[in-house]
Amino acid sequence: MKTTREHPAPDSATSAPDTHEMVVIHRGLRRESRLLVELIAATAPGDTARARVLADHFRDYRLGLHQHHHGEDEHLWPKLLARVDLEADRVLRMEAQHERIAATLTAAGEALTGWEHGADEAARDALVAVLAEHRAVLVEHLDQEEESLLPLAARHLSAHEWNALGEHFVTHTPKPKLLFFLGMVLEEADRAERAAMLSALPLPARLLWYAVGRPAYARRIRTVRAGRPAYAR
């Protein structure tokens, strides 16, 4: 589509970022952290097949969250700290919360090892308690990030700088996992959010999502959620 001189195409080096995409990503993280607690708590003692399915799902969830936060550590906090003064405490609080979240993920991984192969009831309950703590720390962080950090990013970063977060995720995440994470983000996106996120992808990636990623995600989630449907579009 052509652009006129009166309405030039936005320059990503100077235009403001669309930080709402972070809200959409957070929605998926909130959902999956909640469902991990619920689904593992509902696993019958001794059901090792179910335990393996959920353990694999936790590992993918942990990978996605780690890569998401690593991108912020590399591309978001340093730029904001260099440009804000009185609000620097907000950025430092986000960094400290990342460390707390990482600690809960480490604890969950250790508890998972004790439960995965035997599906013991006591080990299951210990894992559920750790995952519940993880979710509480995560949700506190996500809420505060949306309330106080995203407005800072919108004021102080360009769209080009903001987009480095997504580029970091794509570069550092194993390619076979990318379509799964796209489905995780799109699952509860509304029509406008979904259109915005998909339109940012190259055409081959969009075609791959519709032909391969979307049906594969739906199958995976039916297995993980024991028959509950997925809502990815």
Per-residue pLDDT tens over the stretch 20-70 = 999 999 999 999 999 999 999 999 999 999 999 999 999 999 999 999 999
Let me know how many helices (H) and strands (E) the chain has, helices first: 11, 0
What predicted TM-score, i.e. pTM, was given to this entire model? Answer: 0.91
Q: Which residue has the tokens 């699952």?
A: 187
Separation of first and last alpha carbons in the chain: 26
Orientation angle between helical segments 48-75 and 88-116, nearest 10 degrees = 160
Q: What is the mean pLDDT of residues 192-219?
A: 96
